[in-house]
Structure 1
Amino acid sequence: MVEIQFQQKVRELIDGLKAICANYGLGNDGNEFKIITQAFLYKFLNDKFAYEAKKVESNLAEAEKWEDVLSNMSDDELEMLALQMPADTATLKPQHFISYLFSQQNEPDFAKLFDDTLRDISIQNNEIFAVQTDGGAKIKLFDELSQFISDPSKRDEFCKAIINELVEFSFERIFDQKFDFYASIFEYLVKDYNSNSGGKYAEYYTPHAVAHIMAEILVPKDQQGQIKNVTCYDPAAGSGTLLMNVAHVIGETRCSIYTQDISQKSSNLLRLNLILNNLVHSIPNVVQGNTIQHPYHRDGKLLKKFDYIVSNPPFKLDFSDFRDALDTPVNSERFFAGIPKIKEKSKDKMEIYQLFLQHIIYSLTDKGKAAIVVPTGFISAQSGIDQKIRQYLVKNNLISGAISMPSNIFANTGTNVSILFLSKGFNNEVILIDASKLGTKIKDGKSQKTVLDVNEIKKIISTFNERVSEEEFSILVSADDLKKKNYSFSAGQFFKVNQEIVEITEQEFLEKVKIFQSEINDLFKCSNELQKQINLSLGGIYSE
Structure 2
Amino acid sequence: MTDTQYIIKTKQLIDSLKNVCANYGLGNDGNEFKIITQVFLYKFLNDKFTYTSKLNNEALAKADDFYEALHAMKEDDFEFLLMANGENELHFKPDYLISYLYQNQNQDNFSKLFDNTLKAISSENVERFSVKSSSGAKDLMFDELSQFISDSTQRDDFCRALINKLFEFSFEDMFGQKYDFFATIFEYLIKDYNTDSGGKYAEYYTPHAVARIMAAIMVNEPVNNVTCYDPSAGSGTLLMNIAHAIGEDKCSIFSEDISQKSSNMLRLNLILNNLSLSIPNIVKTNTILNPQHRDEKFDYIVSNPPFKLDFSDYRKDLDSKINNERFFAGLPNVPKAKKESMAIYLLFIQHIMYSLSAKGKAAIVVPTGFITAQSGIEKKIREAMVSRNMLRGVVSMPSNIFASTGTNVSVLFLDSAHPDDKVILVDASKLGDTVKEGKNQRTVLTPTEEQKIIDAFNLLKTEDDFAVQVSHAEIKDKNYSFSAGQYFDVKIDYIDITADEFREKMGNFESSLNCLFFEASKLDEQILANLKRLYHV
Fold match, TM over 0.5? yes
Contact 1:441 1:451 in 2 (8 A): yes
Deviation string 1:227-247 (CA, Å, 9 cap, x unpaired) is 111100000000011011111
Give the equivalent residue in structure 1 for 2:347: 355
Amino acid at match of 1:370: A
Q: Percent sequence identity over matched residues?
A: 59
Please say if 1:144 is aligned against 2:136. no
Alpha-carbon offset, residue 166 of structure 1:
0.4
Give the equivalent residue in structure 2 for 1:97: 97
Contact 1:13 1:165 in 2 (8 A): yes
Amino acid at match of 1:244: M
Output the CA distance in 2 between the equivalents of 1:362 and 1:185: 35
Q: Relative to structure 1, is the Cα distance of residues 498 and 69 closer, same or farther in structure 2, using a 3 angstrom cutoff?
A: same
Contact 2:3 2:179 in 1 (8 A): no
Give the equivalent residue in structure 1 for 2:442: 449
Give the equivalent residue in structure 2 for 1:497: 490
Output the CA distance in 2 between the equivalents of 1:514 and 1:55: 91
Alpha-carbon offset, residue 80 of structure 1:
2.3
Give the equivalent residue in structure 2 for 1:12: 12
Output the CA distance in 2 between the equivalents of 1:487 and 1:201: 39
Amino acid at match of 1:401: G
Q: Counterparts in 2 of 1:53-452, with a 5 A limit?
A: 53-176=53-176, 180-195=180-195, 203-220=203-220, 223=221, 226-298=222-294, 303-426=295-418, 427-452=420-445
Q: Which moved more, 1:431-440 or 1:27-36?
A: 27-36
Alpha-carbon offset, residue 198 of structure 1:
7.7
For 2:30, what is the secondary structure of its paired residue? coil
- Match among 468, 471, 479 for residue 478 of structure 1: 471
Deviation string 1:92-111 (CA, Å, 9 cap, x unpaired) is 11111001111111111111
For 1:92, what is the secondary structure of its paired residue? coil
Alpha-carbon offset, residue 178 of structure 1:
5.8
Output the CA distance in 2 between the equivalents of 1:114 and 1:355: 45
For 1:233, what is the secondary structure of its paired residue? strand
Alpha-carbon offset, residue 136 of structure 1:
0.3
For 2:402, what is the secondary structure of its paired residue? coil
Alpha-carbon offset, residue 254 of structure 1:
0.6
Contact 2:364 2:411 in 1 (8 A): yes
Contact 1:201 1:263 in 2 (8 A): no
Contact 2:194 2:201 in 1 (8 A): no
Alpha-carbon offset, residue 200 of structure 1:
8.8
Contact 2:193 2:201 in 1 (8 A): no
Give the alignment's TM-score, normalised by structure 2: 0.91
Output the CA distance in 2 between the equivalents of 1:258 and 1:153: 43
Alpha-carbon offset, residue 313 of structure 1:
0.5
Give the equivalent residue in structure 1 for 2:533: none
Alpha-carbon offset, residue 510 of structure 1:
7.1
For 1:320, what is the secondary structure of its paired residue? coil
Please say if 1:21 is aligned against 2:42. no
Deviation string 1:126-181 (CA, Å, 9 cap, x unpaired) is 01100100110000010111111111111111111110000011111122566841
Output the CA distance in 2 between the equivalents of 1:146 and 1:65: 28
Alpha-carbon offset, residue 344 of structure 1:
2.1
Deviation string 1:294-320 (CA, Å, 9 cap, x unpaired) is 00014xxxx211000000000011110
Matched residue count: 508
Alpha-carbon offset, residue 203 of structure 1:
2.8
Q: Relative to structure 1, is the Cα distance of residues 72 and 339 closer, same or farther in structure 2, using a 3 angstrom cutoff?
A: same
Amino acid at match of 1:8: I
Give the equivalent residue in structure 2 for 1:466: 459
Please, what is the CA RMSD of the aligned residues?
1.9
Give the equivalent residue in structure 2 for 1:530: none
Contact 2:219 2:246 in 1 (8 A): yes
Output the CA distance in 1 between the equivalents of 2:513 and 2:237: 55
Give the alignment's TM-score, normalised by structure 1: 0.90
For 1:99, what is the secondary structure of its paired residue? helix
Amino acid at match of 2:394: A
For 1:457, what is the secondary structure of its paired residue? helix
Contact 2:365 2:409 in 1 (8 A): yes
Amino acid at match of 2:57: E
Output the CA distance in 2 between the equivalents of 1:175 and 1:322: 47
Contact 1:396 1:425 in 2 (8 A): no
Output the CA distance in 1 between the equivalents of 2:513 and 2:285: 65
Alpha-carbon offset, residue 76 of structure 1:
3.0
Amino acid at match of 2:229: Y
Output the CA distance in 2 between the equivalents of 1:63 and 1:514: 99
Q: Which moved more, 1:66-75 or 1:384-393?
A: 66-75
Q: Relative to structure 1, is the Cα distance of residues 230 and 513 closer, same or farther in structure 2, using a 3 angstrom cutoff?
A: farther
Segments of 5+ residues of structure 1 without an aligned counterpart are 519-544
Alpha-carbon offset, residue 506 of structure 1:
5.5
Amino acid at match of 1:172: E
Alpha-carbon offset, residue 512 of structure 1:
8.8
For 1:132, what is the secondary structure of its paired residue? strand
Give the equivalent residue in structure 1 for 2:522: none
Deviation string 1:344-369 (CA, Å, 9 cap, x unpaired) is 21101100000000000000001110
Alpha-carbon offset, residue 191 of structure 1:
1.2
Alpha-carbon offset, residue 402 of structure 1:
0.1
Alpha-carbon offset, residue 202 of structure 1:
6.2
Segments of 5+ residues of structure 2 without an aligned counterpart are 496-501, 520-537
For 1:321, what is the secondary structure of its paired residue? coil
For 1:210, what is the secondary structure of its paired residue? helix
Amino acid at match of 2:239: L
